Amino acid sequence: MLTDTPGIHHVTSMVGDAQANLEFYVEALGLRLVKRTVNHQDVLRYHLYYGNGAGDLGTVYTCFPYPNEPPGRRGRPQITATAFAVPEDALDYWADRLATRGVDAERVDRFDESALRFEDPAGTRLELVADDQPVEPWAGSPVPERAAIRGVHGVTMLPTNPFATASVLDTLGLELVGEAGDRVRYRAGGDHATVVDLLDRDAGFAREGVGSVHHVAFRVADADELREWHDLFRERDIEVSRIRDRHYYQAIYVREPGGILIELSTESPGFGVDEDESAFGQSLVLPPWAEEDRGMIEDQLPPLDVPRVGRDGDGGGDSNGDGDA
């Protein structure tokens, strides 16, 4: 029996420089580096995971650094923006914080919410939406708790065929909750990371590259359900991968008929499988099958300097704080 997804598991994008990416997400946005690992498809590339202190599902945003790739082009089909949730009255704080870092942010209002829209150093479009999601922010964040990011809020999709995409969202258990202009809002039933906006809009062809969101992953309870979802998509003639072991979760990849890449990922075993929460992000962790090549992999990866950050006003602290600081 298939259960509706409670919401987003993680969002993954392609970026340029790994160090610039790390500094922006940790120092400017105040997310924790939850995992420093490699791309399973290409172990000579980093895969950096950001999130709250515990790396809770629905807070996780991951990046594949591809320093020599050309920039992507916005268009169809594509995930055109990722939104993070911040407390209701925190947008003014964030407008100032981004401005002092030279990041241009634009205020947008839609449905009953306000947001700031800006780009990360790779040109990836991000949003901060004022929405009090019940998520524990990272205690080691340089952003004060009253303003700190409360996980992923949602994504915006620009598919080639919004009706086809809507049908897949419906299958996953998301419900249509609003329409405004060319934007249609779907929501999953969980309490955070639940929003998917579909844009019904003309646009040129997208090209994947630096600054593109690669996929969005939705939560699935366990491996049995994942197999059922796999079989359901195959029965419907929707392109679906075999089940992949991503070490922290098992996953399938679905190229839905509107052209967007969607992943379904299990909720376990989670990020504690190879590191204690207190040690998240401190060292390079590899999937077990890549351990025998650790020396070669470490030689090929560019060095990364994890920013040491602390709450504003406490004179800096330890970026690896495990939440009891």
Site residues for Zn ion per CB under 5 A: 12, 217, 263
Which letter, b or e, does each residue of 25-38 get, where b requires 16 or more Cβ atoms within 10 Å of its Cβ?
Answer: bbbbbbbbbbbbbb
Please, what's the b/e burial string for 109-127 (b: 16 or more CB within 10 A of its CB; e: otherwise)? eeeebebbbbebbbebbbb
Nearer to Zn ion among residue 54 and residue 261 (C-beta)? 261
Q: How far is the CB of 11 from Zn ion (least distance, A)?
A: 8
CA–CA distance, 170 with 153 (Å, rounded to integer): 19
Nearer to Zn ion (CB atom), residue 197 or residue 263: 263
Residue 17 CB-half CA count within 13 A: 7
Q: Of the two residues 12 and 250, which places its CB atom closer to Zn ion in the complex?
A: 12
| H helix intervals, 198-280 | 223-235
Give me the least distance between CB of 10 and Zn ion, in Å please.
6
**First CA to last CA across the chain, in angstroms?**
43
What's the min distance (Å) between Cβ of 217 and Zn ion?
A: 4
The residue among 47 and 150 lying less far from Zn ion, judged by its C-beta, is: 47
| Closer CB to Zn ion, 12 or 37, in the complex | 12
Q: Cβ of residue 181: shortest distance to Zn ion, in angstroms?
A: 30
Q: How far is CA 257 from CA 141, 163, 187, 188, in A?
A: 39, 9, 20, 20
Q: In angstroms, what is the minimal distance from the CB of 165 to Zn ion?
A: 18
CB atoms under 10 Å from CB of 134, counted, come to 9
